[in-house]
Amino acid sequence: MKRLIKITALFLLVLSAGSCKKYLDLAPIANQSTASFYKSESDIDQALAGVYNSLLAFPDVNNYNLSECRSNNFYLASVDAQRDYYSINHFQVTSSLAMLETAWANDYKLIGRANQVLDVIDNITFLDSTKRKREKAEARFLRAYSYFELVKAFGAVPLIQHVVTSDEVLNYGRVGVDTVYNFITSELQAAAADLPYKYTATADKGRVTRLSALGMLGRAYMFMAGYPMNKTQYYSNAQSVFQQVLSQEGTSWTFAPAYAALFKAANDNAYHFFEVQYISGGQGFGSPIPGEVVPTDVTTQLMPYGGYYISGEPSPDLITSYEPGDVRELLTLDTLYRNKSNVTIRRSWVRKYLDSSVAATTKSSSDWPVNFPLLRSEDVMLMYAEATNEISGPNTTITGILNRIRTRAGLAGITPPTQDSMRVAIRNERRHEFAWEGIYWYDLVRTNRFLAVMNPWLQANYQKTIDQTQYIYPIPQPEMNIKPGLYYPNPGY
Amino acid sequence: MTFSAFAAGTCDGLPAAGYQKLLIKKQLLRCMRVGIYILLLLGSSIQLLLAKNASGQDMNKTALRLELNNATLIDAFKKIEQVTPFTFAYNKREISPVRNLSLSADNRSLRQTLDLLLQNTSLRYEQMGNNIIVTLPPATSKTADAGRRGAAEDTLINVHGIISNNEGKPVIAASILVKGSAKGSSTDEKGFFEIKGISPNAVLLISSVGFDDMELGVGGRSTIDIRLKDKSEGGKLDEVVVVGYGTARKRDLTGPVSHVGARELGDRPVANIDQALAAQMPGVQVQAVTGTPGTPLQIRVRGASSVSASNDPLYIVDGIPVDNLADIDPGTIESIDVLKDASTAAIYGARGSNGVVLVTTRKGTRGKPRITASVNIGRQTPEQLVKMMSPQEWIQFRKDLVDSAWVARDRTNNKASDAMDMRAAKLTSSTAPVTNTHTGASTAYMYDPYWAYGADSLDYVDWQKVFYRPAYQQRYNLGVSGGNDNTLYALSGEFMNQDGMVPNSGYKRYSFRSNIELKLGDATKVGIGVAPSISTQTGTPADGKDGVGAAVAGTAPIQEKGVGAHSGTIGTTPYRWVADQVSPVFLAENILNRTQTTKLLSNAYIETRLAKGLNIRATGGWNALSSEYKNYTPTSVSSSRRTAAPGSLSTATRNTSRNQYYLFQTVATYTVNFRQHQINAVAGYSVEQNSASNTSQRNTGFPNDNLYTFDQQTSTPAISSNSESMRRQMSYFGRANYSYEGKYLLTGSFRRDGISRFSGANKWGFFPAASAAWRISQEPFMAGISHIISDLKLRYSWGIVGNDRIAGGDYPYAGVVAGASYDFNNNPYTGFAISTIANPDLRWEKTTTNNLGLDASLFNNRVTLSLDVYDKRTNDILLAAPIAAASGFVTQNKNIGEVRNYGFEINVGTVNISRKDFTWSTSANFSFNKNEVLRLTNNNTPIYKGFGNTVQIGVGQPLYSYYLYDAIGVYTTPDMLSKLPKMTSTIIGDPIYRDVNPDGKIDVNDITNVGHPDPNYIWGMTNRFTYKHFDLSILLQGQWGNQIFSLFGRNIDRPTTGLGNYNAKDVWVNRFRSVSSPGDGKTPRIDASTSGVYDTRWLYDGAFYKIKNLLLGYTLPQPKFVKGLNSLRLYFSVDNLWMHDNYSGGFSPEAFQYDNLADWSSYPTARTFSFGITLGL
């Protein structure tokens, strides 16, 4: 009988032990959950850093693969590669190309993170309300930048300004290119108002500034003025915001004394208006770009971990286009390299981002500390010149700007007499100044030269030509598949 | 009056049952003596008493129609044996005088029949299980009383006899034990035994492997001939199978359960349990997706119903769930049962939808200690390799590349026929001279002059051959089991060492198991099962996308003379025409990669009888796993090995993980019989908790390569992280079985599960099931054909089960904020961002199954047949489904729709020949399964999965369907190119794709459904032969109706990155070169413009049939050369002896990693020749 009682007691004990309702309520141990985050000012600070974090992937995907590889700056012999940049360079892109989905998802990831911050930031108590305004402006700038990247690559895209669920997002179809640009420009204007021209604390350098916002706003106007919108009236909008930026020279920014100084880790945040911040150390915050553009077997002194892609090189077309004496040529590329067995190999490659002084700090081929510029003062200067030339033709100011850049590059000053010759001069300068920065291809599109430039080159090198539809990419197939009909396809794909 | 009641009564006054074994033993012996004494007094109640304690058929309920005409009693018994499950044990001399028996052809119960047959004799019978023992009671026992207790002990007798099987053949090495004493004996090669000096009232316990245990009273006889019942034949229906929280006899089952017993398990010397399941059960697909030693196989029960991370069944070892069947010694397994439908698995509720695999380990049985020792030694070679280009073919391939590059360099002046000297002259510049020599030639535009001299000047390397080497394996087992009335034990230990075919790889395991059960008094028993193991898995991963497997096949087959298989290593000259890639052999030899896993599977229980028929069992389970992964990758295998300082680029990784799983469970069972009704009920409750933690550390940049351990002083930390997670489950469950006359069987069960993986009300799920069976053969109208149909059962079942195993760890519903840091001006700044999007609506995946089954035994059990037809619908299937990326996220854990699996399964067993010296039996299974997506929640919009979105989940199609361009040839003429539909970028020599929507052009709309990875048909067949002491079994296996998409195949079968630096599949010999040299019309030109395009050139037929195993054994009867040796068995076995398939995309159509939906290359499966000895002591 005693035993019976004991056993029964045991049974009841086990039964009651678990009947506590809370027993099954477990929250993640190793992570914070969405519900518990976004409570305090420092949470917002960290969430904003999370928005910046999305930028780390931009240079590789947006600037290198989708942009530089699309142009005739990049050449890839036919038999030797089957990577996405091959299809891009050879104009064989289909909507299934994985890089497109990568770009689309990266851009919207940043937008989603920014929306998250912007949706909650007004409900959070900040000690200093100007800091709240500034952080809000930073998030708005980054979101606008991401939409700018999207509209350049895909044309009309869904415009989402708040956090959405997986069901709600299906109510957002593609909106017109002009609507997207209007959003971008109004956001950048608003952001510019609340951002400082520069940060005094060193630890804040690298955050976006009013220079970033105004420069980017001007760039957006340049795109609105160009192909395919062709709203030339925006040249004057561009001109006036660029003027604001240029007037800050000496106060808020300095013009780099030498081209060679622009892509050095030591000069991070010294000259550019907007940079993706990279740091080495093997924590995943380094730049992949230097490793991406050098041959795999380049000597260890330059690249301790080698390059990680095999093909793709500066095209002969780019190499031959430099004027003799242009220091930018050899600072951008080379036609020989020493391999790991110390043999000299005749093959062109990009040395622009290779800062051998920091090679030793890298922990892998994609761990470089050199920041990647997304907006440079030179870009603003040349766009100002371009806008002015489009509005009123050459004048001494823009000739001065042109020659300031040429002189720094070791070239003699020139005086293009006509609007047309000034156009050509600015375009040449831009190609050489910004080669392998992801600027050139969109310059070709914006100025509607892409068919005229690409077709002869494609014919000569790859025995093919393209049509007008190729100025943008197709909407990625996985996105088209989510809800058929939600996004209409781009023509030509 | 039950035995326990009177035993307890007579033992009153004795010391209470303690834990000391001796004390218990002594006490029980006394009880026993008293018990026997009272037994004798009770006289006629003995039969009743024994019958109640035995678990056989009820003699009252076994109906038969026995007509006798002047027959002997022996004849009568033989006839009864034919039509009932009972067998008789008797002494021929005692019963042969009973003759001239006649009976009318009436329907009587067995008891009535026996009473009639024996009414005029002094013979009496007892039922022991399904044995009926017929004895002539000794004269003394009739007058026995309490005062003569001592006298019975005084007159000790000697007993001898012969033990035979039901064919009359002697049973060798059967154990005979005198109940309640240590006395015993075993039979010799003639089945003869002798035991001296035992009480005439003693009870003998007879047991032998392969036979039912038997208990028999001596009854004063000196000669006792015993017939044991063979477990594997007539006993099939009485085979006990394990079902959730209990056992059942096969004849009483109402749902589909597949059983693999000791015999099938013993057939093949396997390294892991799951291997023994291959091709043994219908509807259970067992695939060796990798040959990596120590890696569990993939098991699928009735197709894939889920798209979530796991289609694995729930594995349960001795009642405790485990993650997989790795590291368990197959030698300790008694049986494996697979619950295949919802009615049987519903008692496992939320985890039952992929089937439940119940593993039961060996327990001790009463008798002398039985020691078994076995040794197995084997040699493994790759079953199949991939056909690559030979060195000569590769040279020609490389020459073509050189020529085309030369022509492309200057299309106007250069010709492919230009001589090398002329090319050298044209290429030479003032800074870089080019000569037509091995060291001076341009590798891009010139041939290597050595190519002309072949293997005289260069090393030809067959990489697959040098990499996958013959490897040896060995296994040693030692086990002892036995027991007496109050202790049962089974102990075993195992050592296994399997070298891998990949250099420096292998699997080593030490495992132990002890199962002990103690009786505490007569109503309570406690047991403990403990199984610790230590296993070590070593070797460079050869599987999958990042495995070395693809590099092995793809490394260029030509290297510098004298370098061979160690090409690309420091100190060797790189062969300039190929990539300076470190040899995979050197890589495997020099990378340290080792996982050591310590596991403890344990359970303890206490079971007690609370009232008549009511038992309660409380179980505690504790499984602990801790593993440590070590990796050291030295600088000598890095890409900069030739110039970097030793150690500078080395990395070392150390990951540890710990898993603690607890289970507490209480189960009550209640059995009651009244008249023809039998009710058996189970109710229980359990709580489970699993907590996991892991840490990961990696350092890089070492001062040298001497040590693989690290600290932060001499190397740089690169990763330092740890994480934790926990999940809990709470369940209530119950089941009731009702049987009327053993003819009509009903079962109902339920389970209510709560699990922490979901949120709010979605935590709880209810899983009911019901089933019914009708044993038609028990009906009187079947009696006339009982010699044809000995058993026939029709059954139907229905039930709902669940699945919660979606990827996303223990918190799949939660939105998680994860680190997303940045640095501002090189100052690291901690950032966070939402990494997964929450889904509070996430809920169980639920599967409803309807199953109709038929079981039959024909021609006196010569043919057994089982047929099942099922329809299985899985609703709310879980998937990390793609969502519109504009939301900021690309996937979300969701319930996405409904899938149906339907099909049938047939299992047939036949005894084809059964002669004295020669037997042949066959068991075969065949199953057909088809799956179809019925509904998707997102307006039936198809969902894409797989690499490059090559797999579609779409309504009306199999769950996974490959969506690819259908390659139907190559544009070999300008005419074809101009007339056939093509892509905008297509040029001559590209593959032709089928214009599925005939719009005259090839685009994404022409991507079409080209097949699916699930085989529709799988089958297995075992033939067993015995000839005298030899036995032979052949296991065949096959499947068809599926396709395999191989990314490994694609990797070595397309103009890939760095073409010419690597080797490619041999099909490239027949590629398109020009209009005048079009090749085989299927292989495109080298530089076909199909990048980013997936087509059917890499889709292969997944059908195969193979000789999975062949085993030849020889059992020495009672070997005399070693004293104490009871049995000796020698065998020779071959695994994966032969295969027919059309798969060239990888090593084997089996070695196809299904859940990744493509073959990414794998560790080849092994053809294993092994030899073994098993000794019984």
- Extents of the domains making up chain A: 1-73+94-175+449-493, 289-351+358-363
Q: What average pLDDT does the segment A187-215 reach?
A: 96
Interface check for B412 against chain A (CB to CB < 8 A): the answer is: no
Report in angstroms the alpha-carbon separations of B105 from B64, B67, B88, B98.
9, 5, 21, 20
**Which of B776, B787, B784 lies closest to B859, judged by CA?**
B787
Find the radius of gyration of the CA atoms of chain B.
35
* CA-based nearest distance A491→chain B, Å: 13
* CA-based nearest distance B636→chain A, Å: 13
Chain A CB contacts of B645 below 8 Å = none
Tell me how far apart the alpha carbons of residues B1147 and B1162 are, in angstroms, rounded to a whole number.
7
**Interchain proximity A304–B640, CB inside 8 Å:** yes
B995 and B976 Cβ atoms separated by less than 8 Å:
no
- pLDDT of res. A301: 76
- pLDDT of res. B39: 35
* CA-based nearest distance B880→chain A, Å: 12
A440 and A379 Cβ atoms separated by less than 8 Å:
no
Q: Indicate the DSSP class of residue B1146.
A: S
Tell me how far apart the alpha carbons of residues A17 and A22 are, in angstroms, rounded to a whole number.
11
* CA-based nearest distance A419→chain B, Å: 38
Pairing state between β B314-317 and B356-361: parallel
Interface check for A488 against chain B (CB to CB < 8 A): the answer is: no
User: Looking at the DSSP assignment, which residues form a beta bridge with residue B924?
Assistant: B908, B1021
- Element holding B392 (H helix, E strand): helix B391-409
**Interchain proximity A115–B888, CB inside 8 Å:** yes
Interface check for A198 against chain B (CB to CB < 8 A): the answer is: no
Chain segment B174-184, per-residue pLDDT in tens: 778 887 776 77
pTM: 0.80
Please tell me which residue of chain B has the smallest CA distance to A98: B948
Phi/psi for A202 (5° steps) reads -60, -35
**Interchain proximity A80–B640, CB inside 8 Å:** no
| CB contact residues (below 8 A), chain B span 808-867, against chain A | 810-811, 814-818, 820-835, 837-839
Ranges of H-type helices in B581-635: 584-590
Tell me how far apart the alpha carbons of residues A209 and B805 are, in angstroms, rounded to a whole number.
47
Q: What is the ipTM of this complex?
A: 0.92
For testing contact with chain B, the best of A12, A31, A37, A169 (most B CBs within 10 A): A31
**Which of A180, A199, A221 lies closest to A137, judged by CA?**
A199
| CB contact residues (below 8 A), chain B span 1067-1106, against chain A | 1086-1087, 1089, 1091-1093
The beta-carbon contacts of A320-326 under 8 Å, at least 24 apart in sequence, are A321/A428, A321/A431, A321/A432, A322/A432, A323/A411, A325/A410, A325/A411, A326/A409, A326/A410, A326/A411, A326/A432
B331 Ramachandran zone, left/alpha/beta (phi>0; psi -120 to 50) = alpha
**Interchain proximity A205–B892, CB inside 8 Å:** no
Which of B616, B642, B1004 lies closest to A96 in CB terms?
Answer: B1004
Please tell me which residue of chain A has the smallest CA distance to B759: A25
Interface check for B131 against chain A (CB to CB < 8 A): the answer is: no
Tell me how far apart the alpha carbons of residues B132 and B134 are, in angstroms, rounded to a whole number.
6
**Interchain proximity A166–B754, CB inside 8 Å:** no
Tell me how far apart the alpha carbons of residues A278 and A272 are, in angstroms, rounded to a whole number.
14
| CB contact residues (below 8 A), chain A span 75-114, against chain B | 77-84, 86-87, 90-92, 94-98, 101, 104-105, 108-109, 111-113
Tell me how far apart the alpha carbons of residues B1018 and B285 are, in angstroms, rounded to a whole number.
7
Phi/psi for B338 (5° steps) reads -120, 120
Phi/psi for B795 (5° steps) reads -140, 155
Q: Tokens for B356?
A: 């439940």
Interface check for A50 against chain B (CB to CB < 8 A): the answer is: yes
Low-confidence ranges of chain B (pLDDT < 50): 1-55, 139-153, 232-235
Please tell me which residue of chain B has the smallest CA distance to A32: B817
* CA-based nearest distance B761→chain A, Å: 11
* CA-based nearest distance B1092→chain A, Å: 6
Tell me how far apart the alpha carbons of residues B176 and B193 are, in angstroms, rounded to a whole number.
8
- Element holding A156 (H helix, E strand): none
**Interchain proximity B884–A170, CB inside 8 Å:** yes
Please tell me which residue of chain A has the smallest CA distance to B664: A14
Q: Provide CB contacts within 8 A for B1017, sequence distance 6+.
A: B926, B927, B928, B1039, B1040, B1041
Interface check for A246 against chain B (CB to CB < 8 A): the answer is: no
Chain A CB contacts of B941 below 8 Å = 481-484
Chain A CB contacts of B883 below 8 Å = 166, 169, 482
For testing contact with chain A, the best of B762, B825, B1050, B1053 (most A CBs within 10 A): B825
Tell me how far apart the alpha carbons of residues B311 and B878 are, in angstroms, rounded to a whole number.
11
Please state at what angle helix A210-225 crosses helix A129-154, rounded to 10 degrees.
30
Tell me how far apart the alpha carbons of residues B505 and B537 are, in angstroms, rounded to a whole number.
7
Chain A CB contacts of B816 below 8 Å = 28, 31-34
Q: In terms of pLDDT, which residue wins out, B59 or A356?
A: A356
| CB contact residues (below 8 A), chain A span 128-187, against chain B | 157-158, 160, 163-166, 168-170, 172
Which of A52, A80, A269 lies closest to B1058 in CB terms?
Answer: A80
**Interchain proximity A300–B644, CB inside 8 Å:** yes
Q: Tokens for B390?
A: 């030979």
Chain segment A129-183, per-residue pLDDT in tens: 999 999 999 999 999 999 999 999 999 999 999 999 999 999 999 999 999 999 9
- pLDDT of res. A156: 97
Instruction: Judge residue B574's burial from the number of C-beta atoms within 10 Å of its C-beta, 0-12 exposed, 13-18 middle, 19 or more buried.
Output: buried
* CA-based nearest distance B47→chain A, Å: 30
Tell me: pLDDT of A406 over 90.
yes
| CB contact residues (below 8 A), chain A span 285-314, against chain B | 285, 296-297, 299-301, 304-306, 310-311
Which of A29, A112, A478 lies closest to B726 in CB terms?
Answer: A29
Chain A CB contacts of B949 below 8 Å = 96, 477-478, 481
Interface check for B574 against chain A (CB to CB < 8 A): the answer is: yes
**Interchain proximity B687–A112, CB inside 8 Å:** no
Which of A28, A95, A306 lies closest to B640 in CB terms?
Answer: A306
Site of tokens 């002084």:
A357
Class of CATH domain A1-73+94-175+449-493: mainly alpha
Tell me how far apart the alpha carbons of residues A3 and B967 are, in angstroms, rounded to a whole number.
75
- Percent of chain A residues topping a pLDDT of 70: 94
Which of A84, A207, A481 lies closest to B1092 in CB terms?
Answer: A84
Q: What average pLDDT does the segment A72-95 reach?
A: 81
- pLDDT of res. B430: 73
**Which of B1015, B857, B853, B1018 lies closest to B257, judged by CA?**
B853
What letter represents residue B471's amino acid?
A: A
- pLDDT of res. B151: 41
Interface check for B1004 against chain A (CB to CB < 8 A): the answer is: yes
For testing contact with chain B, the best of A1, A4, A7, A365 (most B CBs within 10 A): A7
Chain segment B586-624, per-residue pLDDT in tens: 999 999 999 999 999 999 999 998 888 899 999 999 999
Report in angstroms the alpha-carbon separations of B775 from A162, B855, B859.
65, 9, 17
Please state at what angle helix A210-225 crosses helix A377-392, rounded to 10 degrees.
40
